[in-house]
Amino acid sequence: MEPHQNTGDDRDPGLQPERTRLAWRRTTLAGTVATVLAAKAALNGGPDAPGITVAALCCALWLAFLAVAHQRIRVLAEGDEPTTLTPRHAGTAALCTVALAACAVALIL
């Protein structure tokens, strides 16, 4: 019995965009939870200037990531073969994620 070789003909092209779209949704949900928790932690001791600044920064980063994710989810949901994620959008998503993590570290320390 010969091992099965994937020639590309038996691949369903709809599966990968669907999985990627769902991954963007999960990541957006995780970012939403992280932003809410960061804002809560920043404002926990009462509203002060640094806490409000960090909370506002977290919200701005989340909104930027949400914009990139929503655009990508829309492209993936169209049903046609999706276009490649542009370096600008990928960089924006990565920058927002890293900056949000940096805000979390700043809140903990």
Q: Above 60 in pLDDT, residue 7?
A: no
| pLDDT category of residue 18 using cuts at 50, 70 and 90 | confident
pTM: 0.77
Q: Which two tokens stand for residue 16?
A: 């990968």
| pLDDT category of residue 71 using cuts at 50, 70 and 90 | very high
% pLDDT > 70, the chain: 87
If one compares 63 and 82, the residue with the highest pLDDT of the two is 63
Q: Above 90 in pLDDT, residue 66?
A: yes
Mention every residue, 6+ apart, whose C-beta is less than 8 A from residue 71: 89
Mention every residue, 6+ apart, whose C-beta is less than 8 A from residue 35: 58, 59, 61, 62, 100
Whole-angstrom distance, CA of residue 106 vs CA of residue 43? 13
Mention every residue, 6+ apart, whose C-beta is less than 8 A from residue 64: 92, 96
The stretch 1-5 carries a mean pLDDT of 51
- Contact yes or no for 20/74 (Cβ under 8 A): no
